[in-house]
Amino acid sequence: MLSVNDLSFSFKKNVIFDQVSFSINDGELVGLVAPNGTGKTTLLKLLCGLLPTAATTLTLNGIHLYQHRTAYLRQLFFLENSNQLYADLTVADHLTYVRSMWHSAVDIAGVVDSLGMAGYYRKKIKTLSLGMKQHVLLAMYLVSDAQTLLIDEPLNGLDPTSIQQFERVFLALKQQGKSMLISSHQMDSVGRVSDRVFFLQNQTIVPIENTGQDMLAVYNTMYLKAGEQHARSV
Partner 1 sequence: MRALFKVTFKRDVQSTTNIVIFAALVILLLGTFFSQTGQANTTRGDLYNVYVTTDDGITNEVIALRKVKHRTAAQTARLNQKLTEKTYADQIIAAASASPAAADQLNRALLHYAQYALRQTQKDPRTPLQLIAYTDQPLDRSLLGRVKDVAFYRYLLDHHIQEIPTAAVHAPAINYLAGAFLYHVSPFLIIAVLLVGLAEFFTMDKRLGTIDFANTLPISKSKVLLIQGLLTCLLMFVLFLLAAVAVFLLVGSQNGWGTWTYPLVYSLDGLHARIMPLAQLMGMLVLSIFSLLVFFTAIGGLISLFVRTTGTHFLWASALLLTGLPSVLGPATRLMPWLPVGYFDYAAVILHRTNWPTLGFGGGVGLLLGWSLLVFGGTGVLLHRRQLL
Q: Which residues bind partner 1 (CB under 8 A)?
A: 45, 48-50, 66, 69-71, 73-74, 76-80, 83-89, 93, 96-97, 100-102
* Residue 103, Ramachandran bin (φ over 0: left; ψ between -120 and 50: alpha; else beta): left
Give 178 or 189: the residue with its C-beta nearer to partner 1. 178
Question: Please, what is the minimum distance in Å from the beta carbon of residue 3 to partner 1?
Answer: 19
Question: Please, what is the minimum distance in Å from the beta carbon of residue 55 to partner 1?
Answer: 12
Backbone angles phi, psi at 14, to 5 degrees: -90, 110
SS3 41: helix
Q: List Cα–Cα distances, 2 to 21, 155, 181, in angstroms.
A: 11, 23, 10
Question: Please, what is the minimum distance in Å from the beta carbon of residue 73 to partner 1?
Answer: 4
**Residue 210 and residue 195 in contact, taking contact as beta carbons nearer than 8 Å:** yes
Give 142 or 218: the residue with its C-beta nearer to partner 1. 142
Question: Please, what is the minimum distance in Å from the beta carbon of residue 151 to partner 1?
Answer: 13
- Shortest CA distance to 37 belongs to which of 234, 231, 223? 223
* Residue 7: CA count within 13 A, CB half-sphere: 28
Question: Please, what is the minimum distance in Å from the beta carbon of residue 96 to partner 1?
Answer: 7
Question: Please, what is the minimum distance in Å from the beta carbon of residue 62 to partner 1?
Answer: 16
Give 93 or 195: the residue with its C-beta nearer to partner 1. 93
Give 87 or 217: the residue with its C-beta nearer to partner 1. 87
DSSP result, 87-147? TTSBHHHHHHHHHHHTT----HHHHHHHTT-GGGTTSBGGGS-HHHHHHHHHHHHHHHT-S
Q: List Cα–Cα distances, 198 to 12, 40, 106, 222, in angstroms.
A: 25, 10, 30, 12
Give 65 or 193: the residue with its C-beta nearer to partner 1. 65
Give 17 or 77: the residue with its C-beta nearer to partner 1. 77
| Whole-angstrom distance, CA of residue 145 vs CA of residue 124 | 23
Give 45 or 192: the residue with its C-beta nearer to partner 1. 45
Question: Please, what is the minimum distance in Å from the beta carbon of residue 49 to partner 1?
Answer: 7
